[in-house]
């Protein structure tokens, strides 16, 4: 008779349920909304062009080397693989971000299962993470930005460095270094922001000897410097001036000066977490300190809680001192915050378990189920509910919807102009997608420039300035109207005299 592994027998029910929880917020309707403006649009074009031109060292945008998103190309590599496997579409572009979110979840579960023999604590931490409004959001797990992958690698570095400092096994240091290198290859300097807190923890528990007196540390340091330098030196060789541009884009113009008008106060990130990004879980944090005080030496998570709080405070202080502040720069905090809250919830569960006179396994299973529903149902369903909104509020990304409808209603129309307002990387992606995948002849023109149209050209537009311009200078015929005139597809006629 075939025997199932004990792991499967013991955790099959929980794992099956948990995979459904993960699907509900990480993968459900992942490709529904069009590619977003700005960052996601740029990264999507980078991946699309990499899949076409096979230049895997240098990211390209509109046929030229990318010098705005100057981070190394690990995210673009993963997105390119996804495109090759699943086709050129929004879901494939975003899938690496969603998978990174899933891997963070199972990193947490595995960590608690291995280090504390408490898989249930890992489940609680993961559920906190999945029901965190700020983590299940644009720019992190739901879009093709870099922050979800960065959070995966920083979390791996964080957890394995803790294992190394506590146990002293060199293999954990090498794994932590691997995650750190992957973080650099994803979002450059952003991967280093947790490091000061990690070293301070080693100092606090008097384990600096595991760093400065171990040859494994110096081997790891040499590997880190070598692998990271390899990319930047090679990129500078192929694109002279890249290092200076990367310094300005990633550090000088973001940390030491206000970039693109994103100036906020020092308490910006704290207020965001308190007001909506980590509600209601932020109110559980003080109880972790209370547990440490009440249980003292019996508190088995003592070092982990100190390590987590120190890392949260250190990371928060660094990003709060930056001149440029963007909402999603706090992404790396969520798994660490979830660890703290998950431990508190585990002790609440333990308190309820102690009240049970009968320790029957099925009764315990039911207790865990109802306890999880009571604690996590509302915040989790709130996250699920926000994903069900299909209509986009950003008009400048609705070109994708118009193009899709036009393809269905007028398949004979394969050549037209997108009349955009300023730089629009979302339309850049869809222009390249339709030209590549469907063999269209789509182009775009910026209405802020001097527009010249020819008789017979088809245009898609919504801006009143375009309508006024056409009314003043051209005869035109409306071919298709999207959402009762929100967007217009028009054929340009003779120029008015």
In a domain, residue 298? The reply is yes
- Claim to verify: residue 399 and residue 381 sit in the same structural domain: no
* Contact residues for 367 (Cβ-Cβ < 8 A; gap 6+): 349, 352, 353, 356
Q: Which domain holds residue 177?
A: 6-387
Percentage above 70 pLDDT, the chain: 95
- Alpha-carbon distance of 239 to 242, in angstroms, equals 6
- Residues 382, 427 share a domain: no
Residue 1 lies in a domain: no
Residues 153 and 65 in one domain: yes
Confidence of residue 479 (pLDDT cuts 50, 70, 90): very high
Expressed in angstroms, the distance from the first to the final Cα of the chain is 89
Tally of domains within the chain: 2
Among 345, 367, 387, which residue terminates a domain? 387
Distances (CA, A) of 398 to 47, 134, 216, 324, 470: 21, 24, 53, 28, 21
Q: Mean pLDDT, to the nearest integer, of 69-84? A: 96
Are residues 410 and 305 part of one domain?
Answer: no
On whether both 450 and 369 belong to a single domain, the answer is no
Pair (328, 470) in one structural domain: no
Low-confidence winner among 78-87, 154-163, 424-433, 443-452 (lowest mean pLDDT): 443-452
Q: What is the pTM of this model?
A: 0.93
Confidence of residue 449 (pLDDT cuts 50, 70, 90): confident
Three-class DSSP category at 212: helix
Q: At 412, is the pLDDT very low, low, confident or very high (cuts 50, 70, 90)?
A: very high
In a domain, 50, yes or no: yes
Residues 309 and 281 in one domain: yes
Least confident of 272-276, 334-338, 380-384: 380-384
For residue 37, pLDDT over 90 is answered with: no
Average pLDDT over residues 58-83: 95
Tokens coding 315: 């990371």
Task: Compute how many other C-beta atoms are within 10 angstroms of the C-beta atom of residue 150.
Answer: 27
Residues 409 and 405: their CA atoms lie apart, in Å, by 6
Could you tell me the pLDDT band of residue 386, with boundaries at 50, 70 and 90? confident
Q: Of 333, 354, 387, which residue constitutes the final position of a domain?
A: 387
Judgement on whether residues 155 and 179 belong to the same structural domain of the protein? yes
Task: Give domain status of residue 31, yes or no.
Answer: yes
Q: 476 forms bridges with which residues in the sheet?
A: 492
Indicate the pLDDT class of residue 7, thresholds 50, 70 and 90. very low
Give the three-state DSSP class for 244: helix
pLDDT surpassing 50 at residue 334:
yes
Q: What is the CA radius of gyration of the chain?
A: 26
CB 336, CB 308: distance < 8 Å: yes
- Beta pairing class for 458-461 and 415-420: parallel
> Following DSSP, what letter does each residue of 134-188 receive, concatenated?
TTSSTTTTTSSSSHHHHHHHHHHHHHHHHHHHHH--HHHHHHHHHHHHHHHHHHG
Between 429 and 495, residue with greater pLDDT: 429
Please give the pLDDT value at position 1: 34
Predicted confidence at residue 357, as pLDDT, reads: 65
Sequence-ordered alpha helix ranges (H) in 168-301: 170-187, 195-204, 209-212, 215-238, 242-247, 268-272, 285-295
Question: Same structural domain for residues 63 and 183?
Answer: yes
Residue 62 has φ and ψ, to the nearest 5°, of 55, 40
Percent of the chain predicted with pLDDT > 90: 71
The span from the CA of 426 to the CA of 438, in Å, is: 17
C-beta separation of 482 from 405 below 8 A: yes
pLDDT band for position 459 (cuts 50, 70, 90): very high
Sign of torsion over alpha carbons 181, 182, 187, 192: negative
Domain boundary among 326, 359, 387: 387
Residues 132 and 218 in one domain: yes
- Considering the domain architecture, whether residues 312 and 406 belong to the same structural domain is answered as no
- For residues 48 and 119, membership in a common domain is answered with yes
Q: Who wins on pLDDT, 449 or 170? A: 170
Residue 103 lies in a domain: yes
Per-residue pLDDT tens digits for 177-200: 999 999 999 999 999 999 999 999
For 378-396, what is the mean pLDDT? 82
């Amino acid at each position: 008779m075939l025997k199932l592994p004990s792991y499967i027998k013991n955790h099959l029910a929980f794992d099956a349920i948990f995979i459904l929880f993960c699907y509900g917020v990480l993968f459900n309707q992942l490709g529904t909304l069009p590619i977003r403006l700005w960052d996601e649009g740029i990264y999507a074009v980078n991946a699309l062009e990499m899949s076409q031109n096979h230049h895997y060292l240098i990211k390209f945008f509109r046929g030229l080397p990318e010098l705005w998103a100057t981070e190394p190309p690990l995210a673009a590599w993963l997105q390119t693989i996804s495109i090759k496997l699943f086709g050129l579409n929004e879901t494939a572009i975003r899938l690496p971000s969603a998978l990174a979110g899933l891997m963070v979840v199972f990193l947490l579960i595995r960590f608690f299962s291995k280090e504390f023999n408490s898989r249930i604590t890992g489940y609680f931490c993961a559920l906190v993470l999945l029901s965190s409004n700020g983590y299940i959001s644009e720019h992190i797990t739901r879009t093709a930005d870099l922050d979800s992958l960065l959070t995966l690698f920083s979390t791996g570095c964080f957890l394995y460095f803790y294992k190394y400092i506590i146990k002293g096994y060199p293999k954990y240091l090498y794994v932590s270094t691997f995650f750190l290198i992957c973080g650099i290859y994803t979002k450059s300097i952003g991967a280093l922001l947790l490091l000061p807190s990690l070293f301070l923890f080693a100092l606090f528990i008097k384990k600096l000897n595991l760093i400065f007196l171990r040859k494994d540390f110096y081997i790891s340091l040499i590997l880190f410097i070598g692998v990271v330098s390899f990319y930047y030196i090679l990129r500078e060789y192929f694109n002279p001036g890249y290092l200076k541009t990367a310094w300005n884009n990633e550090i000088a113009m973001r940390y030491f000066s206000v970039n693109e008008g994103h100036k906020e106060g020092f308490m910006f990130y704290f207020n965001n977490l308190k007001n909506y990004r980590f509600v209601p879980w932020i109110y559980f944090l003080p109880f972790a300190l209370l547990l440490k005080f009440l249980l003292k030496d019996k508190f088995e998570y003592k070092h982990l809680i100190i390590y987590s709080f120190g890392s949260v405070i250190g990371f928060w202080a660094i990003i709060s001192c930056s001149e440029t502040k963007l909402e999603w720069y706090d992404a790396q905090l969520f798994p660490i915050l979830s660890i703290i809250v998950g431990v508190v919830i585990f002790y609440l569960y333990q308190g309820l378990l102690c009240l049970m006179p009968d320790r029957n396994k099925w009764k315990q299973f039911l207790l865990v189920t109802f306890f999880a529903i009571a604690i996590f149902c509302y915040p989790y369903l709130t996250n699920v509910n926000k994903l069900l909104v299909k209509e986009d509020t950003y008009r400048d990304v609705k070109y994708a919807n118009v193009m899709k409808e036009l393809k269905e209603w007028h398949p004979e129309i394969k050549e037209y102009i997108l009349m955009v307002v300023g730089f629009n990387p979302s339309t850049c992606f869809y222009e390249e997608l339709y030209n590549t995948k469907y063999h269209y002849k789509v182009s775009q023109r910026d209405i802020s420039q001097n527009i010249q149209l020819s008789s017979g050209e088809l245009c898609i537009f919504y801006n009143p300035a375009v309508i006024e311009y056409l009314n003043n200078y051209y005869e035109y015929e409306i071919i298709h109207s999207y959402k009762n005139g929100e967007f217009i597809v028009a054929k340009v006629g003779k120029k008015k005299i």
